[in-house]
Amino acid sequence: MRMAEQKRPAFPLNAATEVLEPLIGVWDTVGSHGLIPGKTLHGRTSFAWDESGWFLRMSSSIREDVGIPAGVAMIGSDDQLGTYVMIYYDQRGVSRLYQVSMQGDVLRWWREAPELSQRYSLTISRDGRTMAGKGELSKDGSTWEKDLDLTYTRVD
């Protein structure tokens, strides 16, 4: 079964996560990182419901050995508050908690921390075949630099 056709279980679901459905699938990525000038990065990202169907699992990797770790994240919602969070973990052993929002065709995640704040926006194209991701980071909480920018192209 293609990931885009993945079904959720038949037991009660948190309807708030349904807005994340357009992300489901496997995506090839091409892009750049602000700290690695002149290098084109190639990778793959997938979005899939976890076994329960309640959380969205994101897995990502970059093929080039340039220090960008493979990572996994889980996105879920608080249906009462209408908010979303993402917990991220990567092969370095780094874990981070992000706030998440989905408004229209734009998924955003961000974190504010004293030594490293980050924000990322992922805009889904009208036809659902591509997404544009733009990342920024700040080491002082006020000056923002380019982080990871990726173009996602649907594989399945």
pLDDT per residue rounded down to tens, the chain (156 residues):
444 455 655 556 677 888 899 999 999 999 999 999 999 999 999 999 888 878 999 999 999 999 899 999 999 998 888 899 999 999 999 999 999 999 999 999 999 999 999 999 999 999 999 999 999 999 998 999 999 999 999 998
Q: What is the pTM of this model?
A: 0.90
**Structural domains present in the chain:** 23-154 (2.40.128.20)
Q: 145 near 137, Cβ under 8 Å?
A: yes
* 26 sits in which H/E element: strand 25-33
Give the integer Cα–Cα distance in Å for 156 and 137: 31
